[in-house]
Chains A and B, each alone.
Chain A
């Protein structure tokens, strides 16, 4: 079990830091509430409509495709770092991986997932 003590420490540190951050802010910061400050923050734009408003499914399509290809790059970084040690085997493995993703990409393209209609 002693192997897991670092994990426990990290966990505790995480909880303590988050709790400290959010509560220190409340203790130290001045709080002068105005009408504008009370509004929901939407990336600097003025908030409009209720929070449960409906969004076009197009946004979800883009988000899902982004996640897929975003995660792909996460795999590629460590692969690139030890590329020389892996040699031909590593190249072929990554080629197979990219090929599988390419099929998915072609599928999304063919089915019109990239068209902003």
Chain B
């Protein structure tokens, strides 16, 4: 009983805090909602600290939730990324004409959703986490109500997301008819204990396929990626930063537990599908990103490509690969929050700062911002000694050890292709001339977030061992047997 309460306590406190945020926001006189934002950041810090304090391995609530190392790792990641996105938003929102205090509460709820997804050891609880996260992000994507592109983003995201959720739930239901359980470990046991032949085998394949499609939408894996560029472009930049990092981390948290624990006995059938998805996702993401003129769309396709790299790790499915994926998500989070942070820091009403050409000559007018942006672009390419390089190195090494030589070759070729568009941004910033109307100075809050993201990106590259170690510990108890 006590353990059940303790394991649930971080979530209970987080939910109460998010509700409290709504109440505070309702009566807040400050139209910039600085206090609300800081309260959100503090709440996330409290949630993260509590999850570390109450971490324990056994699952509680009838094996539905486990605050194990894996959950705590994602909890810390999601809370950090959420806090960074909130701080980025403080100055950005008011200027973009978004006077809505519930923004921070919604973002808080989205983080809670990610945390539930990572902590869930039952498919239904995982689904609840997914929906908590998705509902909040649908609204966030459309929070700029008078902007048509924001409306389009929200509607597209909502309709496709609802479809994906329905497919996922249908898959879970079918899985239940075969195995008689929604608890991940029990599903795995039922699948490995009995040989399913004939009609049962077909239902099982259908169920697995539907679950994969559901998660595929959420992490924007090809061919379920079509929403990503439009939604990333239409949503406010700070929301895009959150979606590209925390939401993706949540999707992978749930996908990995499902595929590597519950569906582990289906390995033989799943491996070729994951292999193909990884290869197609990274190739398509990178090739299409080459032709983008909007930085936001380019980063959207880059995020699809990175989904592909991460899927390489999931395909490998070993302990080593799993912990590499966890590390990669942290490095990816830092460099992507930073890249979107630079955009949010320089954007002003009427000047979206969303085209790559908007950054012409940034090195002359904003040397620090240009330097940080160049750093993030190099890290996204995977150039040593930055976080992105170490992440890729470990994921690809783990995949090699798992025998996925050709997949790693494809991934390495993709990294070379990606250099073209990432370095294109650097070239625009350093070798093109600045336009006559110089971009405004960077916003203070956003500048701090960008600086921290830059430092983290460097640290993850230079001294990756602490985070690598915790990622390895976090993943060590996830796989069964």
- Chain A interface residues (CB < 8 Å from chain B): 1, 4, 100, 103, 106-107, 110-111
Contacts and interface: CB of A to CB of B under 8 A. Distances in A.
Nearest to A110: B26
Task: Name the 4 nearest CB pairs between A and B, nearest first.
Answer: A110-B26, A103-B19, A107-B22, A103-B22
A103 B22 CA distance: 8
14 contacts: A1-B177, A4-B177, A100-B19, A103-B19, A103-B22, A103-B23, A106-B23, A106-B26, A107-B22, A107-B26, A107-B102, A110-B26, A110-B27, A111-B26
Contacts of B23: 103, 106
Contacts of B27: 110
A69 B96 CA distance: 34
A100 B27 CA distance: 17
Interface in B86-119: 102
Given A107-B26, A107-B102, A110-B26, 6 more contacts: A1-B177, A4-B177, A103-B22, A106-B23, A107-B22, A110-B27
Contacts of B26: 106-107, 110-111
B180 to A, nearest CB: 9
Contacts of A110: 26-27
A1 B22 CA distance: 47
Contacts of A106: 23, 26
Contacts of A107: 22, 26, 102
Nearest to A100: B19
A110 B23 CA distance: 10
A100 B20 CA distance: 10
Contacts of A1: 177
Interface residues of B, number: 7
Nearest to B26: A110
Nearest to A109: B26
A107 B22 CA distance: 7
A103 B27 CA distance: 13
B206 to A, nearest CB: 15
A77 B19 CA distance: 25
Contacts of B102: 107
Contacts of A103: 19, 22-23
A104 to B, nearest CB: 8
Nearest to B177: A4
A103 B23 CA distance: 7
Interface string B20-46: 001100110000000000000000000
Contacts of A4: 177
A4 B177 CA distance: 9
Contacts of A111: 26
A4 B102 CA distance: 45
A107 B19 CA distance: 10
A100 B23 CA distance: 11
B310 to A, nearest CB: 35
Nearest to B200: A1
A109 to B, nearest CB: 9
Contacts of B22: 103, 107
A4 B173 CA distance: 13
A110 B27 CA distance: 9
A106 B24 CA distance: 12
Nearest to A107: B22
A54 to B, nearest CB: 15
A109 B381 CA distance: 49
A4 B19 CA distance: 41
Contacts of A100: 19
A27 to B, nearest CB: 36
A111 B26 CA distance: 8
A111 B28 CA distance: 12
Nearest to B100: A111
A117 to B, nearest CB: 16
Interface in B356-394: none
Contacts of B19: 100, 103
A110 B28 CA distance: 11
Nearest to B15: A100
Q: A4, A100, A103, A106 — which one has the most chain B CB atoms within 10 A of its CB?
A: A103
A4 B176 CA distance: 12
A44 B22 CA distance: 43
A21 B180 CA distance: 36
Nearest to A99: B19
A107 B26 CA distance: 7
A1 B26 CA distance: 52
Interface in B425-473: none
A3 to B, nearest CB: 9
A102 B22 CA distance: 12
B18 to A, nearest CB: 10
A100 B177 CA distance: 34
Nearest to A7: B177
A90 to B, nearest CB: 17
Nearest to A111: B26
A4 B203 CA distance: 15
A100 B19 CA distance: 7
Contacts of B177: 1, 4
A1 B178 CA distance: 8
A13 B23 CA distance: 49
A92 to B, nearest CB: 13
A10 to B, nearest CB: 15
A4 B26 CA distance: 49
B33 to A, nearest CB: 14
